[in-house]
Amino acid sequence: MLRADLDHCEWLPDDVKTGEMVFIPGGTFRMGSDHHYPEEAPSHRVFVDSFWIDRTPVTNRQFKQFVNATGHVTEAQIVPDPRNYPGALKEMLYAGSLVFSPLPRITDLTDWSQWWSLLRGANWRHPYGPGSNIRGLDDHPVVHISYSDAAAYARWAGKDLPTEAEWEFAARGGLDGEEFAWGDALMPGGKHMANIWQGSFPAQNLGEDGYERTSPVMAFPPNGYGLYDMIGNVWEWTSDWWTAKHAADAAKPCCIPKNPRGGGEDASYDPRLPDIRIPRKVLKGGSHLCAPNYCRRYRPAARHAEPVDTSTSHVGFRCVVRAADPDSARSPSAG
DSSP character string of 54-121: ESSPPBHHHHHHHHHHH----GGGSPPPGGGSTT--GGG--SEEEEE---SS---TT-GGGTEEEEET
pLDDT band at 20, cuts 50/70/90?
confident
Backbone angles phi and psi of 8, in degrees to 5? -115, 20
What is the phi-psi region of residue 202: left when phi exceeds 0, alpha when psi lies from -120 to 50, beta otherwise? alpha
Q: What is the pLDDT of residues 221-249, one digit of tens each?
A: 999 999 999 999 999 999 999 999 999 99
Which residue did the predictor score with more confidence, 5 or 83? Answer: 83
pLDDT band at 17, cuts 50/70/90?
low
Q: What is the pLDDT of residues 78-122, one digit of tens each?
A: 998 888 888 777 788 999 999 999 998 888 888 999 999 999 999
pLDDT band at 7, cuts 50/70/90?
very low
- Stretch 281-285: mean pLDDT: 98
What is the overall mean pLDDT for the chain? 90
Residues forming a β-bridge with 22: 3, 53
pLDDT value of residue 325: 43
Long-range contacts of 260-263 (CB under 8 A, 24+ apart): 260/46, 260/163, 260/164, 260/165, 261/163, 262/163, 262/164
pLDDT value of residue 110: 87
